[in-house]
Amino acid sequence: MELIKQHGLKKMSIHALTQSVGIAQGTFYNFFSSKEMLVYELANAYQQSINHKLDEIIKAKGHLERNDLRELYDCMFLSDENNVYRFLTREDLQLLFTRLPGDCFHKMTDIKAEMERNLRLASEKKEQYDLDAVINWIQLMNLTLQNKDILVKAGIEKMILQLIENMLDELF
C-alpha cells in the first residue's frame, strides 16, 4: 500500500515491492501473477473489511442508519489508509482494466450488488429511491479522488462530504 500511495500502481515496480518487504522477486509470483492481481486482492480484502464493519453495525443495532453510512463513506473516501481505491489514479484504473481478466475487473467495480445488500438493512430510508443515482454519487466520489491532481486540493474534503450528503439525501 505504501508504494501504491507513493508512486501509483503504474509506476510501482515488482522489484521495489519485493525489496521493500524483503523477499526475492520470484517469491512474489508464488502469490500473485502480476501487480494488478495484488491490487485486485487488496481491493477484495478491503471490501470484505467494509462488509464486516457493516455486519457488526447490523449485529449491534439490527439495522443501518443514515449516520452509519455517513461515517462509513467519510472514512472510506477521506481517511481509511487501507482503501486502495483512494490511491489509484485514472492511469492505474486504465491499467487494471486492460490487464485484469474481465471478471476480476467487473467484480472489483461492481458496487451495485454491495449497495443493494447494505440498503436492505437500512432503516428509515425512502420507500422510493434511485439506486442508479446513489451509485453515481459513489462513482463521483471515486472520480474526485482519481482526479485530485487536477482539482483544488483544499476543496476536495469539502466536496467529498457534500457528495456523501447528496447520496444520503437520495436514500433517506
Residue 34 has a pLDDT of 94
pTM, rounded to two decimals:
0.84
For the chain, give percent helix, strand, coil, nearest 5: 80, 0, 20
In this prediction, residue 32 carries a pLDDT of 94
Domain ranges of the chain: 34-171
DSSP-based three-state secondary structure for 47: helix
- At 107 the pLDDT is 73
Q: Please list, in sequence order, all residues whose beta carbon lies within 8 angstroms of the beta carbon of residue 66, skipping any fewer than 6 positions away.
A: 122, 124, 168, 171, 172
What pLDDT is stored for residue 109 in this prediction?
66
Low-confidence residues of the chain: pLDDT under 50:
none
